[in-house]
Amino acid sequence: MTFRDLNLSNPLWNAIDDIGFSKPTTIQQKGFSVIMSGRDVQGIAQTGTGKTLAYLLPLLKLWTFNKNRHAQILIIVPTRELTVQVAEEAEKLGKYLNIIVRAVYGGTNLKSQAYEVAEGVDILIGTPGRILDLGYHGSLNLKAVKRLVIDEVDEMLALGFRSQLKHILDLLPQKRQNLVFSATINSEVEALIGEYFDNPEKIEAAPSGSPLSNINQAMYRVPNFNTKVNLLEFLLEHSPAMTKILLFVSTKALADELYGKISAAYPDNTGIIHSNKDQNFRFNAVNRFQDGTFRLLIATDIIARGLDIEDVSHVINFDLPDEPHNYIHRIGRTGRADKKGEAISLVGDLDLDWLDSIQEFMDFRIAVLPLPNEVFISDELTEAELPKINMKTFLVNCPKLRMTPVLFMKKRTKTKKKILKSTTKTK
């Protein structure tokens, strides 16, 4: 099947030819006619399956010019980076259509985005908070929305956007088509869909939870943080095939700590991205990773959602995420669009529980690689790795240690004196 077999139009076929895609992916094939029929759709698709194009293509085909230029298509996504990415894809596809695409997201000037939106917009892509702000501000008229896409809805709910989503849904016209995309379906996703959508038709790219077959997964058992750092340095030094590495850690603090260590050895080609960094820094980091300046980008889960970076050769999980579906998202940053990818996890003692639930979720066992002999096994533990009981005792005893000797001495002296006295008396 080629894109010519889909009932598109010349402007769309020409745009696809310019991009260079030849065959629609599974989700694009499955989704096209259902979305064209006007039905509500629930798409289950992991990142890397081509799901963005799967909804953009039929939506652009269904779009009709209206001189009012109030948004007809609203696409809600969880992160700022994804907003920009989806907008870029919509711009490329809509290149030969007279269509205005706008991206709105927090962390940037509300007034200038309000001005742009008020100027006119056909497709609006944004994060929930900023869409609401613009709606309340009055610059964004949501009453013309005919088609709504909620992309990565599972992630949006996990991030706590539930009430913002509901407020947006309340501002939209009742009569509209809804498309909800999610990598995983859980009870919260089902509840939202059940409440707001009209018996959506399910289309699925791959069974929920199954990793993409073109990603090779492996893991090392590593005892602790410092040994993980040693292993990472070894891999960076000895693996020329690791050309573009996206490395995940669970917390911002850990990302900063690791960045401090690795960038000391590789100052020019290591980047970091997490939600405490300002928006320009974040875009910059992604761009420099994208264009190959950075060989290694250290990231937290929230930033990584939906990021589409070409040719990521390796995803390294410096630790394992506490949600199995986040593991699927992390590794989905490599092996995109039918390319081969490698995912390597450094599994420490603290990760073992997560490892079990991830393997159970995927119904797949990750191959264990032997730790290279050259890697120095450190026995120095970080604060988080120290046994909890020792930590408590240490903290509780600390202040006493400084106070006790003086009091103790005094008491003992008194007692001694008393004893002496009594001894004297008796004598």
Q: Which residues bind ligand AMP (CB under 6 A)?
A: 21, 23-25, 28, 47-53, 308, 336-337
Q: How far is the CB of 322 from ligand AMP (least distance, A)?
A: 24
Query: Among residues 311 and 353, whose Cβ is nearest to ligand AMP?
Result: 311
Give min distance, CB of 336 to ligand AMP, in A. 5
Closest CB to ligand AMP among residues 51, 146: 51
Closest to ligand AMP by CB, 31 vs 135, is 31
Nearer to ligand AMP, 337 or 407 (CB): 337
Of 147 and 228, nearer to ligand AMP (C-beta) is 147
10 Å Cβ neighbour count for 290?
A: 17
Nearer to ligand AMP, 45 or 117 (CB): 45
Task: Give the single-character DSSP code of 366.
Answer: P
Taking the complex as a whole, the smallest distance from the CB of residue 300 to ligand AMP amounts, in Å, to: 19
Structure tokens at 424: 């004297």
Helical residues (DSSP H) of 291-387, grouped into ranges: 301-304, 324-331, 352-362
State the nearest-atom distance from the C-beta of 106 to ligand AMP, in Å: 22
Q: Minimum Å distance from CB 59 to ligand AMP?
A: 14
Find the angle CA(246)-CA(250)-CA(255) to the nearest 5 degrees.
65
* CB contact at 8 A, 155 and 165: no
Token pair belonging to 83: 């907003």
For the chain, the residue count is: 427
Minimal distance, residue 84 CB to ligand AMP, in Å:
13
Tell me the closest approach of the beta carbon of residue 296 to ligand AMP, in angstroms.
21
- Helix ranges (DSSP H) in 24-119: 26-36, 51-62, 80-93, 110-119
Q: Smallest Cα–Cα separation from 90: which of 116, 120, 55?
A: 55
Neighbours of 237 (CB within 10 A): 11
Among residues 319, 315, 321, the alpha carbon closest in space to that of 334 is found at 315
3-class secondary-structure state, position 235 = helix
Of residues 2 and 66, the one with the C-beta less far from ligand AMP: 2
